[in-house]
Amino acid sequence: MVVSLKTVNTNSSNWAGNMKEHINKLGKEDSVLINGLEPTKVLDIRVQPGGKALAESALKEFAGSKGVILKVTEFDPILIVH
């Protein structure tokens, strides 16, 4: 399995296009072989709270059509106190 991990802000204007470009590249990547076989390709994206449904609806079908498994997780903002 090959995993590409990205963070995405679904509030930005061009996030979906950027992720589709990345999915295309990941789906076409054939230079990585494991034991002579093409691995399963996973795009694991982390989105801000409330962004998961939008990311899944915009990318899941597209990723599947390119042979890429999409995993979307919302991250919790972390408060760092010095």
The whole-number average pLDDT for the span 4-25 is 95
Rounded Cα gap, residues 68 and 1, in angstroms: 11
Is residue 80 situated within a structural domain?
A: no
Contact between 66 and 42 under an 8 Å Cβ cutoff? The reply is no
CATH number of the domain bearing residue 42:
3.40.1350.110
At 82, is the pLDDT very low, low, confident or very high (cuts 50, 70, 90)?
low
Is residue 54 situated within a structural domain?
A: yes
The whole-number average pLDDT for the span 1-10 is 93
**Mean pLDDT taken over the chain:** 90
The range of the structural domain enclosing residue 25 comes to 2-74
Q: Which helix (H) or strand (E) holds 5?
A: strand 2-8
Contact between 60 and 21 under an 8 Å Cβ cutoff? The reply is no
Is residue 45 situated within a structural domain?
A: yes
Is residue 82 situated within a structural domain?
A: no
Is residue 40 situated within a structural domain?
A: yes
pTM comes to 0.84
Rounded Cα gap, residues 53 and 44, in angstroms: 14
**How many domains does the structure of the chain reveal?**
1
Model pLDDT for residues 29-46, shown as the tens digit of each residue = 776 777 888 889 999 999
Rounded Cα gap, residues 39 and 29, in angstroms: 10
